């Protein structure tokens, strides 16, 4: 049997009918309906990534086996039926789209939180400015002493405590982006700098001290240090939990319902369609429209009919789709579909 992926250069250079005929004969039949010019000049690529035999292995946290990123004290409290609140950050990072599950002594929990209050607080904010920048925010109160003589202390960021090094790194991103479009890491930079929220980092900070340095060197550049203490209004979260399963089998069924879309039966597929899936698992598989019977069979088994039944360009996703999960041959796979321009051989 010849290669299932015809050269896209051959398809575009006048050998379209012959190439499609060869693909159809190899894969066992006709191809899907007529393409437009826009549809013919692209290929649809399918990639499958192995996600293992069980979902629980990666989707359920066992604090006895590994240290979770979330608040372990909150998990202990909710198991005991005690009230536990935390300010600003959710205790379990759980969302409706990506719920957090945990297991303890054979019992499986879905962890979440609800907002029960608002807290007003004052927090230090670090901002960095170029030494030649002039403005109220970076006036540099500690740059001169009472006699008017220079009182500038310069430190290298690498010599600072861990919390300060993290603060300088994030404040640097804000300083670099200031006056430019974009370039600020979302979720890290806040109010044009770094907000200290960890009490241990505040206590250990050298930058926040009354006699702290007024200049810091980061990435071979000297920056003016500006510290402000600003008012914040933050949510107060109460940790919640719900028992959802008492056995690994039930937990696995819950995760399948949450995460898995199509369930593909190997025996229900033709040999050519199975080969398409195997190639997609190994190195990805792609074809130009109109697709072979085998590729169309795979797309239907994945419930991706917009790529077959509608206007391919308008109805199907033009870029990577959101990652979907399929169960096939007793294993789970993350799969993605993407259009690529047919601009030459692979």
Residue 318's pLDDT is what?
Answer: 46
pLDDT band at 152 (very low <50, low <70, confident <90, very high): confident
Q: What would the pLDDT profile of 288-304 be if each residue is shown by its tens digit? A: 888 999 999 999 999 98
Tell me what the pLDDT averaged over the chain comes to. Answer: 82
Residue 178's pLDDT is what?
Answer: 83
pLDDT band at 164 (very low <50, low <70, confident <90, very high): very high
Residue 60's pLDDT is what?
Answer: 96
Residue 141 pLDDT > 80, yes or no? Answer: no
**For residue 333, with 0-12 CB atoms within 10 Å meaning exposed, 13-18 middle and 19 or more buried, which class applies?**
buried
Residue 320 pLDDT > 70, yes or no? Answer: no
Residue 142's pLDDT is what?
Answer: 45
Residue 182's pLDDT is what?
Answer: 63
State mean pLDDT over 131-155: 57
Q: Which two tokens stand for residue 127?
A: 């901002």
Question: 321: Cβ–Cβ under 8 A, 6 or more apart, which residues?
Answer: 336, 337, 338
Residue 41's pLDDT is what?
Answer: 61
Residue 55 pLDDT > 90, yes or no? Answer: yes
3 state SS of 313: helix
Residue 72 pLDDT > 70, yes or no? Answer: yes
Residue 33's pLDDT is what?
Answer: 44
Q: How many CB atoms lie within 10 A of CB 330?
A: 7
State mean pLDDT over 281-294: 91
pLDDT band at 9 (very low <50, low <70, confident <90, very high): very low
Q: What would the pLDDT profile of 165-197 be if each residue is shown by its tens digit? A: 999 999 999 998 887 766 777 788 999 999 999
3 state SS of 94: coil
Q: What would the pLDDT profile of 10-50 be if each residue is shown by its tens digit? A: 232 333 333 333 343 344 343 444 444 455 567 899 999 99
**Relative orientation angle of helices 271-282 and 293-301, to the nearest 10 degrees:** 70
Strand residues in 148-299 grouped as ranges (E): 154-156, 194-195, 215-218, 221-245, 263-264, 285-288
N- to C-terminal Cα distance for the chain? 20
Residue 315 pLDDT > 60, yes or no? Answer: no
Residue 313 pLDDT > 60, yes or no? Answer: no
pLDDT band at 319 (very low <50, low <70, confident <90, very high): very low
Q: How many CB atoms lie within 10 A of CB 298?
A: 25
Q: What would the pLDDT profile of 231-264 be if each residue is shown by its tens digit? A: 999 999 999 999 999 999 999 999 999 999 999 9
Q: How many residues does the chain have?
A: 346
**What pTM, to 2 d.p., does this model score?**
0.71
Residue 235: φ, ψ to 5°:
-70, 150
Residue 18's pLDDT is what?
Answer: 35
State mean pLDDT over 99-116: 96
Residue 200's pLDDT is what?
Answer: 94
Nearest to 222 by CA among 136, 150, 152, 130: 130
């Amino acid at each position: 049997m010849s290669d299932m992926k015809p050269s896209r250069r051959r398809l575009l250079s006048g050998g379209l009918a012959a190439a499609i005929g060869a693909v159809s004969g190899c894969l066992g039949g006709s191809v899907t309906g007529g393409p437009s010019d826009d549809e013919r000049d692209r290929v649809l690529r399918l990639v499958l990534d192995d996600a293992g035999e069980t979902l629980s292995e990666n989707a359920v946290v066992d604090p006895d086996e590994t240290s979770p990123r979330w608040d372990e004290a909150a998990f202990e409290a909710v198991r005991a039926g005690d009230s536990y609140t935390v300010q600003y950050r959710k205790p379990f990072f759980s969302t409706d789209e990506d719920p957090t599950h945990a297991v303890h002594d054979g019992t499986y929990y879905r962890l979440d939180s609800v907002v029960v209050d608002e807290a007003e607080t004052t927090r230090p904010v670090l901002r960095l400015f170029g030494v030649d920048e002039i403005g109220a925010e970076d006036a540099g109160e500690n740059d001169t002493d009472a006699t008017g003589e220079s009182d500038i202390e310069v430190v290298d960021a690498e010599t600072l405590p861990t919390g300060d090094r993290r603060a300088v790194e994030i404040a640097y991103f804000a300083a670099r982006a200031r006056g430019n479009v974009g370039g600020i890491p979302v979720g890290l930079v806040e109010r044009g700098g770094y907000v200290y929220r960890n009490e241990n980092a505040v206590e250990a900070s050298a930058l926040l001290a009354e006699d702290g340095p007024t200049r810091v060197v980061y990435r071979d550049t000297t920056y003016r240090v500006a510290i402000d203490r600003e008012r914040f209004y933050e949510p107060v979260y109460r940790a919640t939990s719900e028992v959802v399963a008492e056995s690994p089998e039930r937990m696995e069924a819950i995760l399948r319902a949450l995460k898995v879309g199509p369930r593909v039966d190997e025996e229900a597929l033709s040999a050519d369609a199975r080969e398409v899936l195997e190639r997609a698992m190994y190195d990805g598989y792609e074809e130009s429209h109109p697709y072979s019977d085998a590729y169309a069979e795979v797309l239907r088994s994945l419930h991706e009919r917009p790529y077959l039944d509608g206007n391919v360009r308008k109805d199907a996703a033009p870029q990577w789709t959101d990652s979907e999960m399929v169960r096939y041959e007793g294993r789970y796979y993350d799969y993605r579909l993407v259009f690529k321009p047919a601009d030459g051989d692979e």
